[in-house]
Amino acid sequence: MNLAAKDIQHNLGRFALTVFGIGMLLMIVMGMGGIYRGLVEDATLLVERIGADLWVVQRDTRGPFAEVSRVPKTLVYRVLAVPGVESAREFVFHTIQREQNGKPLRMSVLGLSWPLDKGEWLPLVAGRPLAQNHYEMIADKTLGLRPHEQIKLGKETYTVVGITGGMASTAGDGMIFVTVWDSQAIQFDTPNEAIRLERAAREHRSEATDLFLSQPVLTEQLSRPVAELPAVASPELSAVVVRVAPGADMDAVAAAISTWSDVSVFTKAGQEDLLLKGMVDKSRRQLGMFRALLTIIAAVIMALILYTLTLDKLHSIALLKLIGAPNRVILGLILQQAIVLGGVGYGIAFLVGQKLFPYFPRRVVLTSEDLLRLAAIVLGISVLSSLLGIWRAMRVEPNEALMG
């Protein structure tokens, strides 16, 4: 005969409600852990997916994700010349916020270095990779864009041709993928009036320059688009991503590029480290603190519930002692209920959480390691929180049964 089970059956409604409450509380604790995991995964997702061995960024910056980095377009060719480099690609990345259907739409724009990269490596859930070098884009499904939908960015209109699943930037914004050219067009888009003003300013400057006075034919060149002016730098990249040839020494390649005084080099692990230590760390500590507090609160609430459940049973406990039940029976009664409370609460947390977490705006990732650790913690606080009740039950005198 299991006394704990009998008592639970007798007060089933109340016990069920209590367990549900504990379950919700544990679900929040679980969710906190999942949000943290999601943060870490989001942070490293891009670096992981892009799969580059080395990241070459502007000297002394921690770019291109943690901060802004600018490198010249020609860096790609310099890097390609380094022995051991299999491929080097342009990497352009920036975040924009526009409106679509009256709602703010935050997108992280990643440039694909067409034609080497058409986005075949992306986890497409619908549509196709890019098929032309302009005006097509692949968007993540969290952005809510549909295939064939058109969206105006800068002076051009782009058509959504593919949809990815789970591609979010480190900040959790959905990503769009266009060619590097398009991404730069979007990034460096200037209003027409600004272009006209700049052109006028250019002509005005030329009137004061000896070169233009002696060679007036040059003045005509000033009204051409910026990209065609030899004296003006073409738009810059965020970084160059490098794949090292199989068998080549990655450290040697990194060391060789590091000697150039205009760039810094990070390995994939180093880049991930930058993201985790720099960007996610505060959030992680914040969530950690919150989770610890919630765990303590759950333990206190459970202790209170178990203490109350014990108080309700004092007469029965006295009676059990009176008819000669050993302490182990009474201890078992309380401890088993504590474990059922924690265990079933945990189960509810897991089941409800699984249904609920996908609707959270940012990813909540439940790893089996985290789940196991939380299960151990719940078991721990179940046992710990039953101590107060057990202590009270042990103090009950058998003759208290006569005071009923």
Partner 1 sequence: MNEHLAIETRGLTKVYGSGNTEVVAMRDATVAVRRGEVIALLGPSGAGKSTFLTAVGLINPPTSGQVLISGVLVLDGPIALVHLRSFRRKHIGYVFQKSNLIPFLSARENVQIALQLDGASPRRARRRTLELLEELGVADRAENGTSMLSGGEQQRVAIARALANDPSVILADEPTAALDSHRGRQVMELFRRVAHEHGAGVIVVTHDQRTLEVFDTIYEMEDGAITNGIHSQEAVR
Interface with partner 1 (CB under 8 A)? 1, 3, 6-7, 9-11, 313, 315-316, 319-326, 329, 397-399, 401-402, 404
The nearer residue to partner 1, 218 or 311, going by C-beta atoms, is: 311
Query: What minimum distance in Å lies between the beta carbon of 5 and partner 1?
Result: 10
What's the CA angle centered on 180, arms 178 and 183, to 5 degrees? 60
Query: What minimum distance in Å lies between the beta carbon of 390 and partner 1?
Result: 17
Query: What minimum distance in Å lies between the beta carbon of 173 and partner 1?
Result: 55
Alpha helices in 275-367 (DSSP H): 281-312, 314-322, 327-356
The nearer residue to partner 1, 348 or 396, going by C-beta atoms, is: 396
Contact present, 386 and 304 (Cβ < 8 Å):
no
The nearer residue to partner 1, 304 or 329, going by C-beta atoms, is: 329
The nearer residue to partner 1, 11 or 133, going by C-beta atoms, is: 11
Q: How far apart are CA 12 and CA 104, in angstroms?
A: 49
Provide the sign of the torsion angle of the four alpha carbons 44, 47, 53, 56, taken in this order. Answer: negative
DSSP letters, 287-300, are HHHHHHHHHHHHHH
Query: What minimum distance in Å lies between the beta carbon of 364 and partner 1?
Result: 39
The nearer residue to partner 1, 320 or 366, going by C-beta atoms, is: 320
DSSP letters, 124-160, are EEEE-S--SSSSEEEEEGGGT--TT-EEEETTEEEEE
The nearer residue to partner 1, 185 or 330, going by C-beta atoms, is: 330
147-182 residues labelled b (16+ CB within 10 A) or e (exposed)? eeeebebbeeebebbbbbebbbbbebbbbbbbbbbb
Query: What minimum distance in Å lies between the beta carbon of 313 and partner 1?
Result: 8
| 3 state SS of 395 | helix
Token readout for 66 is 């943690």
Contact present, 73 and 90 (Cβ < 8 Å):
yes
Beta bridge partners of 160: 137
The nearer residue to partner 1, 47 or 334, going by C-beta atoms, is: 334
Beta bridge partners of 126: 163
The nearer residue to partner 1, 107 or 309, going by C-beta atoms, is: 309
Query: What minimum distance in Å lies between the beta carbon of 2 and partner 1?
Result: 10
Task: Name, in order, each residue with C-beta under 8 angstroms of 355's C-beta and a sequence gap of 6 or more.
Answer: none
Query: What minimum distance in Å lies between the beta carbon of 319 and partner 1?
Result: 6
Query: What minimum distance in Å lies between the beta carbon of 23 and partner 1?
Result: 23
